[in-house]
Each structure stands twice: as structure tokens, then as C-alpha cells.
Structure 1
Amino acid sequence: MISILFDRALRGLAVLSAGILGVIAVFIALNVVLRNLGLPVVYGALDAIQYALMIATFLGAPWVLSIGGHVKVDLITSNLTEGTSRALTRLTSAIGAVTAGVLGWYGLQAVLASAARGSMIRTSFVIPEWWMLAFVPLSLGLCTIIFIRRLLFPETAERSLSGL
């Protein structure tokens, strides 16, 4: 039950990420049309797009990892025996969990330090810096959980998408 809810949360974040990317596309097209008509562009759109790209990336990354849609080279692993492949999946999942966990921990420390300092981002608009930094530990925490799930249940990693 928890796994189903977790997967639904990941899909929800992916949908939110896709929605953000859709809004970005609309604002880029709108700014191009306005500029070509000699009208003023949407104020702050460039800054908002930069932040939205970061947010969409970090919100969508755990879902992409969970479905195996990330870039990977499977030339060697596709020719391994099932047992060896499963062991390698466990090893890479352990490395991924440790890496994502450590980066997420340091990301959380950056969020807390930024909030404590009261750091602000001053561009077209002014927002607290920690608002943008908060997406990093959230995303990496979810990725850590996905790697741990693959470590414990390597068959979930087998449903990944394959390109070549």
C-alpha cells in the first residue's frame, strides 16, 4: 500500500513537472510573439523560466529514475546472467542510494543555512533563496528511497525502459 502511494506521489510530481514545462513553453512563445509585435515582453519571464526549469528538473527526476527512463548504458548488463545482473543492480543501487543520500543531506544543510541567514534572491522579483534550494533535498531524498527500494527488490529495476 505504501509503495502504491509512493508511486502515485512520484507520478503526481512528474505531472506537476510536465505542467511547469508546458507553462514555460507558453511563456517563451508569448514573449517571442510580443517581441516580434514590438510590444513589451512579460516582465520577469526569463527569471521565472530559469527557476521553473530547475524546479521541473528536480520534481521530475525521481519519477524518471523510478521507471528507469534515465540515461544508461546497458551493452554489458544486457548480456549478463540473471543472477549477475541482479547483483550488479544491487551494487549500483547501493552506490546510488549513498550518493543521493549524501547530496540530499548537504542540500538540506544548504537550505537550513540559507533560511537561517535570510538569504534572498534578487532578480526581477525577490524571493527567499531557500525556496529554490528546497527542491534539491526533496528530490534527492525521493531518489534515495527509490535506490533503496531497488537495492531491496532488484526486480523493480528490471522494468526499466530500454533504448538500444
Structure 2
Amino acid sequence: MRVIDRICDVLAVIAGLYLVWIMLAIVVSALARTLYLSGTWSSHLFTFSEFGLLYIVMAASPWLVRLRGHVFIELLTAFLPKRIQSGFSRFVAALCVLICAILTYFSLVATIRAYEFGDALMRSLDMPKWLILGAMPIGFGLMGLQFCRFVFGPETLHTGQAGVHE
């Protein structure tokens, strides 16, 4: 899991840097428009920002799973008897693994098909569709592996305490 954790750490840093890049691109684009300097390059900034949102989500999500940073409600687990809480939490994590496995499979199939057919997304800059879709099988696959930690590892996904605990 250490290798997977390091990969997830690197992807989270890349996602954070991409988010900063998007913020700077918005500022540059707004300044260029104000100074009447916009051109095709500014529309490319918008395209890369748009596609970047998918990359950011897929790159940061496995890291968030590991840290239990995703939004989930512990109201039910807080009211379950202590002897059932761990098993229920592992069951929920196993469902998450299954869902991630299904999403990994179908997004991988879509990515491969887009590559084989040479599909492109037409924006200000034509992008190969597989290049955009390719983030999804990687992200969902890593999320599934991270959820496995809560199925088979010593820790559970849920704390068993209702409310905000940070």
C-alpha cells in the first residue's frame, strides 16, 4: 500500500497545482479581456481549465478516501451497537470497492473505445477523448484500492460517532 499511497500523494499534489493553475488562468484571462488582449490563446485556457476539473477530481479522490476526507454521514453508524459497527463499516467499504470496480471497468472500456475510434472532443482545441477519459479508470481504480484498506485493514471507514470530528 505504500507505493499506492505515494502515487496518491503525488496525484493530490498535481491536483492542487492544477487548481492553482486554473485560478491563475482565470485571472490572466480576465485581465486579457479587460485590456483587450484576448485571442485564441485565452479560449485554450478555458478549455484546459474545463478538462482540468475532471483531472483534479480523479487525482485527488484516492487521497481523500485514504484520509476519510469524503463526505459521509455517520448518523447510522453512531446508533448501531458497538459489536455491529465495525462489520457494517467494512460492508459499506466493500460496497464502495464494488462500485469503484464497476466504474473502473466501464470508464476503461470507454477510454479504450475512444482511443480505438480516434474520438476527439471539439472545443477551442481538439483533444483526443481518450486523454480526457483516461483519468477516470485511474482515479476510480485507486479509490477502490484505498477503500480496500477499510475492508481488510485494521481501521474502519467510519468512526461510529455522529457529528463533525475534525
TM-score normalised by L of structure 1: 0.89
> 1:163–1:31: structure 2 CA closer, same or farther, 3 Å change rule?
farther
Give 1:102's aligned residue. Answer: 102
Distance 1:31 1:80 in 2: 52
Contact 1:90 1:154 in 2 (8 A): no
Give 1:25's aligned residue. Answer: 23
Give 2:116's aligned residue. Answer: 116
Q: How many residues align?
A: 162
Partner AA of 1:29 in structure 2: V
TM-score normalised by L of structure 2: 0.88
Query: How do 1:50-129 residues align onto structure 2 when only pairs under 5 Å count?
Result: 50-129=50-129
Contact 2:120 2:128 in 1 (8 A): yes
Same amino acid, percent of matched pairs: 24
Partner AA of 1:34 in structure 2: A
> 1:83–1:155: structure 2 CA closer, same or farther, 3 Å change rule?
farther
Contact 1:89 1:154 in 2 (8 A): no
Give 1:16's aligned residue. Answer: 14
Quote how far apart the aligned CAs of 1:127 are. 2.0
Q: Which runs of 5+ in 1 are unaligned?
A: none
> 1:36–1:163: structure 2 CA closer, same or farther, 3 Å change rule?
farther
Distance 1:78 1:156 in 2: 13
Partner AA of 2:32 in structure 1: L
Give 1:37's aligned residue. Answer: 35
Partner AA of 1:65 in structure 2: V
Distance 1:76 1:62 in 2: 24
Quote how far apart the aligned CAs of 1:70 are. 0.5
Partner AA of 2:98 in structure 1: V
Per mean C-alpha deviation after superposition, the further-off stretch among 123-132 and 16-25 is: 123-132
**SS of residue in 1 equivalent to 2:31:** helix
Give 1:139's aligned residue. Answer: 139
Per mean C-alpha deviation after superposition, the further-off stretch among 82-91 and 56-65 is: 82-91
Quote how far apart the aligned CAs of 1:116 are. 0.9
Q: Which runs of 5+ in 2 are unaligned?
A: none
CA RMSD in angstroms comes to: 2.2
